[in-house]
Amino acid sequence: MVRRLVRETMNYFRTAILLAGLTGLFMGVGFLIGGGSGAMIALLVAGAMNLFAYWNSDRMVLSMHGAQEVDARSVPDLYAMVSELSQRAGLPMPKVYLMDNPQPNAFATGRNPHNSAVAVTTGLLQQLSRDEVAGVVAHELAHIANRDTLIMTITATFAGAISMLGNFAMFSGLSGNRENNNGMGMIGSIAMMILAPLAAMLVQMAISRTREYAADNLGAQISGQPLALASALARISNAAHAIPNDSAERAPATAHMFIINPLSGQRMDNLFSTHPATENRIAALQQMAGGAGKSFLRPQGQPQARPQGQPAGGPWGGSAPTRGPQPGGPWGGNAPRRGPWG
């Protein structure tokens, strides 16, 4: 109990430090754009954003990616899995969202475990095995248990806003340079266009790289199958190179929230990556595989018991339910073409 209280206190302290740092960065960009008045305006905007981000940033991020909430009737097998893993992790049942996206990926969001959500893509359910999906879900639940989701979601909100300020600086500076000799001028504007998003990216990297290793570790303990999570990371990483994630490309400030970087381009484990190298994460999971516990999922080649209260169908055998949308792959049915509701 004491350990949990200390952990929550430290999480709120880190969140406060992050908000203060992002507010200062926001004001600095405002000062470079408009001097003292620009900094004051940025301070007021940042204050409003702090309040908005704390209460609504999770909804905004889910909306950016077209995530739609599902329940035990619409996608029963996924919902039952999240429920079972949440119980094993000692967490309240989060809301479950489905994104109609062919790239296999997932993220978690929410300001605390009692107001949290897990979002997965249809591509994840179609292309990964049941054990691998469980590993991914457990990883996202680990982010919720470690209180990472608030910081990650707020950072995504601020990073996007700072990037917008950088673009605004370029256009306002170019305009001011043409009309008069005031303002930053063309060189300052171009520098702001580059440096403001870079500064926001550095904040993202600082909070996400070590957290991914910790979530992998705890997620493997929750699911009991570190090798299944390792396999999932490898398959998602390979698919992310080949399958574009259009919603992530439109909102790149949210990339650090996903289990694997959803953006196109070469990934490397260096300063300019939002995630550690997948190979390093897999190696860490392989090291802990020998001491992993057993998963509630079926051993390969053996029939799986149906969870209590779960109707027959889908991956538990029988005919897939015809009521509600059903993702393809091991979950039964065909992938929806227009969102998870058809």
* CA distance linking residue 338 with residue 48, whole number of Å: 35
Residues 192/32, Cβ–Cβ less than 8 Å: yes
* CA distance linking residue 148 with residue 137, whole number of Å: 15
* CA distance linking residue 164 with residue 39, whole number of Å: 15
* CA distance linking residue 1 with residue 231, whole number of Å: 35
* CA distance linking residue 20 with residue 58, whole number of Å: 19
Residues 58/109, Cβ–Cβ less than 8 Å: yes
* CA distance linking residue 96 with residue 191, whole number of Å: 41
Encode 214-230: b = buried (16+ Cβ within 10 Å), e = exposed: ebbbbbbbbbbbbbbbb
The secondary structure of the chain in percent helix, strand, coil, rounded to multiples of 5, reads 65, 5, 30
The three-class DSSP label of residue 112 is strand
Whether the CA torsion 295, 86, 235, 100 is positive or negative: it is positive
* CA distance linking residue 14 with residue 152, whole number of Å: 12
User: Which residues are the active-site residues?
Assistant: 140
